[in-house]
Structure 1
Amino acid sequence: MSPKELVIALFTAAFADHDPEAARQLVTQDYIQLNPQVPTGADGLMGLIPLVEQSGMTATTHRVITEGDLVVLHSTFDNADAFGAPTLAAFDIFRVEDGKVAEHWDNLQPVPETTVSGRGMTDGPTEITDLEKTAENKALVLGFVHDVLGGAAPEKAAMYSKVYMQHNPMLADGIDGLMEGTKAWAEQGNVITKFEPQIVVAEGNFVFVASDATVSGNPWAFFDLWRVEDGKIVEHWDVVSPTPAEMVHGNGKF
């Protein structure tokens, strides 16, 4: 199986079929788990699957982005009260090694009933296009992350986008909406002093970046997905959450 097929098979075994033995065949024994609440190793994942089945939680995957040995799933979890909220938006990242899934990162965020832009956290285009522009689009997005989100040159924001459709529930459309929302968040005491990309996965018109951040002295994780069209960023989704100080393993968040 390709990395994408392997990851989808694992996700199906775990979250649709609730089949621990089928899932075990798809992961390495020393499967590295970065979710802060799930024990590391294959046994940790197998222990999670019955809990998912008992909770009644269901998963819907909206986008699958693949580059090399990394696969990103953009999903919605419904009936997820046992895991923190009725509905959760999620990004899951999997690393494949020698035909098995070897490592997993994720970030989850409750989905609110309303959003500032009127868009949901996971709706919008899903088709992957412009595969020949993958490297170019990745460079564009990483420049945006460095200059705008990382704060190196926020005055350059407008050069990266003219139409910026926003799926972050707290932000309005447009680059101005992003900048005004970021400013308002800072005025509420949420000052970003570090924003460092850790994982980047690009496929055609979609570029995903997982970043380790510090907000007012506390660790946060920002998982962002951008859609690029004609050399400009046109759409953005994200899942943002504070990183807990205590985890059930020693692997950290990244």
Structure 2
Amino acid sequence: MITLRISGGVAEIVLDAPEKRNALSLEALAELDAAYREAEASGVRALLLHGEGRAFCAGRDIAGVDPATDDVPGYLGAVESLMRRMAAFPAPTFAAVHGACLGVGLGLAIATDVVYIAETAKVGSPFANLGAMLDSGGHALLYERLGAHRALDLIYTGDLLSGAEAVGAGLFSRVLPDEEVLAFTRERVARAAAGPTQSFLASKRLIGRLRDEHLWAVAAAESRGQARLRDTADYREGFAAFQQKRPPEFRGI
């Protein structure tokens, strides 16, 4: 599911479940956390995260999850712990994003220093079809970069932004043709690894202090809100519809 390669002072972490569009179960989150810990222990000077197949990460793997017994706080607690580890990684980090970047996948991007994204990537909040709410720090990103009206528009409609639209709105750093994004990101990672990484880390820590208090407070509030939604009929209907591959029938309860 998670592959780690280390070479020339660079760690490359790959989400490697293309048949699931790299959706992440609780077990996969633990594997990803372990990969970051191993990369940190190896003393790498830069890190690249990307996904295999048609997507970067389509979010949480809810196949087989029973919404009646879903441990929402446990799952989102693991997500927040992973995001904190990613954000504090002691070297410059980069993500090459293509295809779906949704839910937890969006959280992985938020926790990465620099995100380069493919033109046709899809970014946003698909939770309107699940009876759940955006999580993994997504409210903080959308509100800070898009403002309240645009953020709620995307949340209410479930509409997704293309990579080009996401960069145009200031969500991420650069947009590239789909076939170029990974090679471009690898080149930038190698450049960072060969650079003055101590000065990079000084800037990373300063920007982290400016970001962290708000981001983690929002992530904790999202976890509490998602836990409350778990007990609604619409949450159960959204999960069942997704698992049965049919349109949901929400009743607002």
TM-score by length of 1: 0.28
The answer to which structure has the higher helix fraction is: 2
Structure number with higher relative contact order (C-alpha < 8 Å, ≥ 6 residues apart):
2
The answer to which structure has the higher strand fraction is: 1
